[in-house]
Amino acid sequence: MSSHSKDHDHGHDHTAFQKDITEPKEDWEFLEIAIRELLIEKNVLSAREIQDEIEAWEKKNPEKGAEIIARSWVDDDFKNRLLSDGNKAVAELGFTVESLKLVALENTYEIHHMVVCTLCSCYPRTLLGVPPLWYKSREYRSRAVREPRAVLREFGTAIPESVEIRVVDSTADCRYLVIPKRPANTEKMSEGELVKLITRDSMIGTAEALDQHGKRS
Amino acid sequence: MTKRLISDLGGLPAGSIDRSEHEPTMTERRIDAMMILLRAKPRSFWASDENRRTIESLEPKTYAESAYYERWVLAMKGLLLEKGILTEAELDAKVSEVRSREQMAKI
């Protein structure tokens, strides 16, 4: 019986988490339990708040970013506002990226942008959710700035030699959102249909958007 | 030559990238949530820069070998002690208590 199941008195559905519940094994897992219990005992945090925060993050996922990109594909004026002031433009769609500068970068037939955080794991979490493990890995952080084309090839993303690759390094105060190229033959698609072509990786720049059939190009 | 920070990985040689997806565990989610709550208003116990400074001052071996959220929880511990929110003695006692409790639960 895990300790987690004991405090299930708040009557909501936890099924999405069940598969993750395991007994602590590592020192740092015991440390997490100890810190949490002490903070709750000392009324620094409440169990409810921690749970609410976890659930709030569950709701943050790459679809938010995809909505922004889809709008920029169908509305040039919006795209220009997004490129000139990311924070202001995403606020129009109801998204706030607090106390961080948001910079949108447009991928074209001349330039392909790719985002990394060489020092840690800075990522536009409000718009894309929690970063994938590889984004935080030593390998991606080390190599993205040195051999981006090789990294892109590993991701199955073939960018022609004629296209300039520009790698941008995030900081604690500045986050990047890549606007992938709008795929060909999507002129008749609705904004809602376009959203489905915009993947997390296409907004990090390690992939392109899916093609008009929703397949990797 | 200036000494390279342990976190300064840009441009260093490294192997292939493991691109497999990972569903965060409950422990990882809780660490993430607590970090945000402790840093955000109204508590504002520390700034995000302090968080990074603490992670970057981990022992190089610890930094290199730890899982991502392991570094986070070590940084959280460091900051909680530094800010006087928790003491080393109460934390040590709590860790022992948790360990023996989990041990008992297995029997």
- Check: CB of residue B85 under 8 Å from CB of residue A44: yes
Q: Which of B34, B51, B58 to mutate to test the interface with A (most CBs of A within 10 A)?
A: B34
**pLDDT digits over A160-186, tens only?**
999 999 999 998 889 999 999 999 999
Whole-number Å distance between alpha carbons of A38 and A101: 35
Phi, psi of A155 (to 5 degrees): -85, 5
- Note whether A54 and A73 are same-domain residues: no
Asked if the Cβ–Cβ distance from A139 to B16 is below 8 Å, we say: yes
pLDDT of residue B5: 85
pLDDT band for position A98 (cuts 50, 70, 90): confident
pLDDT band for position A16 (cuts 50, 70, 90): very low
Domain count of the fold of chain B: 1
Q: Which of A106, A95, A88 is nearest to A65 (CA)?
A: A95
pLDDT of residue B104: 85
Average pLDDT over residues A57-86: 95
What tokens does A127 get? 């718009």
Whole-number Å distance between alpha carbons of B107 and B91: 25
pLDDT of residue B106: 76
Residue of chain B nearest A52, judged by CA positions: B33
Residue with tokens 């899982």: B67
SS3 state at A165:
strand
Beta strand pairing call for A111-116 and A164-169? parallel
| Residue A97 included in any domain | yes
Asked if the Cβ–Cβ distance from A29 to B91 is below 8 Å, we say: no
Average pLDDT over residues A191-198: 98
Asked if the Cβ–Cβ distance from A34 to B91 is below 8 Å, we say: yes
Residue A1 reports pLDDT greater than 60 = no
- Note whether A69 and A155 are same-domain residues: yes
Whole-number Å distance between alpha carbons of B81 and A34: 13
* A88 interface with B at CB cutoff 8 Å: no
Q: Which domain holds residue A124?
A: 62-204
What tokens does A195 get? 């959203």
pLDDT of residue B1: 56
Q: Residue A115: which H helix or E strand, with range? A: strand A111-116
Compute the nearest-CA separation of A212 from chain B (Å): 25
ipTM, 2 dp:
0.93
Beta strand pairing call for A174-179 and A164-169? unpaired
Residue A135 reports pLDDT greater than 50 = yes
- Check: CB of residue A177 under 8 Å from CB of residue A124: yes
Q: Which domain holds residue B102?
A: 27-106
pLDDT band for position A17 (cuts 50, 70, 90): very low
| Residue A30 included in any domain | yes
Compute the nearest-CA separation of A154 from chain B (Å): 8
Q: Specify which residues A176 forms β-bridges with.
A: A103
Contacts across the A-B interface (CB distance below 8 Å): 160
Name the maximum alpha-carbon separation found in chain A. Answer: 61
Asked if the Cβ–Cβ distance from A36 to B34 is below 8 Å, we say: yes
- Note whether A161 and A98 are same-domain residues: yes
* Active site amino acids of A: 117, 120-122
pLDDT less than 70: residues of chain B: 1
pLDDT of residue A217: 76
Asked if the Cβ–Cβ distance from A119 to B7 is below 8 Å, we say: yes
| Residue B87 included in any domain | yes
More confident: A180 or A18 = A180
Q: Which of A213, A140, A122, A135 is nearest to A176 (CA)?
A: A122
Residue A11 reports pLDDT greater than 80 = no
| Residue B14 included in any domain | no
Residue A102 reports pLDDT greater than 80 = yes
Q: CATH no. for residue B75?
A: 1.10.472.20
Contacts of A20 in chain B (CB under 8 A): 23-26, 29
Half-sphere exposure of A17 (CA within 13 A, CB side): 19
| Residue B64 included in any domain | yes
pLDDT of residue A18: 47
pLDDT of residue B42: 95
pLDDT of residue A184: 96
* A48 interface with B at CB cutoff 8 Å: no
